[in-house]
Structure 1
Amino acid sequence: MKHKTLRKPTQDSGFKNQERGFTIVEVLITSLIFSIIGMSVSAIFVQIVSLQRRTLATQKIQDNSLFVLEVMSRDIRVSRIANQESPNCDLTTLTITHPSKGAVVYRVNNGSVEKNENGGAFLAVSTPSVNFARMNFCVKGSLANDKQTPRVAILTTVENRTGKEIIQINLQTSVSSRDVIDEFSYP
């Protein structure tokens, strides 16, 4: 009686000599796919960092310019504006008469908004990190007995001074003076 030994059949995996592993083509394709994914993730990260810097620069411009416009608006709102009619918006310096500060002059000098109170020295209102490239004033209703409330429209272009990319923002605000003494002084 012959005994047969049972052997486990080996599975043929398609590799020669029953060696297991990856072929060079499989390794190259896998490396290529992971390289493309890695470069895509890196490019997205660089783009996100660039957008964040742009957003911070824009926020800095907006914060500073809105502060300057608010300071000017508060002074204009309570001041007397006389004989500065400029419907064509060609005025670059605004002179107002504040009830407690006296004569107040606003102007742009070398990209910085400056304020002069009662004949003193001009002091910067804006920070050095932003550049006011343009500031014009449209004044209407400042003539005596014109039966109009004095109002000022401030048109400005503000940009950043630092960073790789120059960001420019155009802003406009209108302010009415509450001082109507000229309207009631003349019959």
Structure 2
Amino acid sequence: MNFSRNSGGFILLEMIVSVGIFSMVLVVVSGAIFSIVHANEKIRTAKLVMENLNFAVESMARNIRFGSAYHCGSLGTLTAPQNCAYPNGSSFIAFKEYTGSNTVMYRFNNGAIERQVGSGGYVSITAPEVVMTAVWFYVEGAESSSTVEPRVKISIQGYAGARPDTKSSFLIQTLVSQRRVLFYALSP
């Protein structure tokens, strides 16, 4: 029997080594793909939070900016101005609309910010995927004896994302100062 060492095929040891190297490359590439998918989901969650909170905060700020008779806290007459300066904020604020005809109320309830206009019902202004853990309103200068321009500080803390590994936490604050809109009748 004559065996030739110069055969053109793979031997068993070469085949095992090549399958092992291929398996390692496959595991590394799969891990990279899963990391990219996870990062994409976290980015989408953060984008949802930013877009939804941007809308909610801008809407509240716009309404508060042109309102009057700010009442912080749910006690007392809601149309009577009432301060609640830092650190004694409230999760409820009421104020008169710029037209003076309706009272607008914002409150923190069950992990969401809700809005009520006049005698209508409360409507959530935040998406259910965004969970608030704390919402505080701080009002200064609302009472007529104050020498400070009326202003409202809004502080919102919470998170978005159902799974712990994609959860995005946030803390947003904004300060809104009052801008009075005066309507003048033009005489001919």
Task: Tell me the TM-score normalised to structure 1 length.
Answer: 0.81
Asked whether 1:51 is paired with 2:52, we answer no
For residue 169 of structure 1, what is the aligned residue in structure 2?
170
For residue 118 of structure 1, what is the aligned residue in structure 2?
118
For residue 127 of structure 1, what is the aligned residue in structure 2?
127
For residue 83 of structure 2, what is the aligned residue in structure 1?
84
Note the C-alpha offset of 1:65. 1.0
Runs of 5+ unmatched residues, structure 2: 71-80, 183-188
Runs of 5+ unmatched residues, structure 1: 1-14, 182-187
Asked whether 1:140 is paired with 2:128, we answer no
Q: Per the alignment, in what secondary structure is the counterpart of residue 155 of structure 1?
A: strand
Asked whether 1:37 is paired with 2:40, we answer no
Question: Over residues 73-103 of structure 1, what are the superposed CA-to-partner deviations in whole Å (9 max), with x where a residue is unaligned?
Answer: 0101001122223221521101111123521
Q: Per the alignment, in what secondary structure is the counterpart of residue 87 of structure 1?
A: coil
2:51, 2:146 → 1: CA distance? 36
- Tell me if structure 1 keeps the 8 A contact 2:116–2:123: yes
Q: 1:89 to 1:57 in 2, by over 3 A?
A: farther
Question: Over residues 114-165 of structure 1, what are the superposed CA-to-partner deviations in whole Å (9 max), with x where a residue is unaligned?
Answer: 1111232111212222212210012122222321111111111132253453
Q: Per the alignment, in what secondary structure is the counterpart of residue 153 of structure 2?
A: strand
For residue 184 of structure 1, what is the aligned residue in structure 2?
none
Quick one: percent identity of the two aligned structures? Answer: 25
Question: Over residues 28-87 of structure 1, what are the superposed CA-to-partner deviations in whole Å (9 max), with x where a residue is unaligned?
Answer: 222211111111000000000011011101111111111110110010100112222322
Q: Which moved more, 1:19-28 or 1:34-43?
A: 19-28
Note the C-alpha offset of 1:176. 0.6
Which amino acid letter does the alignment assign opposite residue 175 of structure 1? V
Asked whether 1:68 is paired with 2:67, we answer no
Q: Which moved more, 1:19-28 or 1:70-79?
A: 19-28
Which amino acid letter does the alignment assign opposite residue 169 of structure 2? Q
The structure with the larger Rg is: 1
Please tell me the root mean square deviation across aligned C-alpha atoms, in Å.
2.1
- Tell me if structure 1 keeps the 8 A contact 2:42–2:167: no
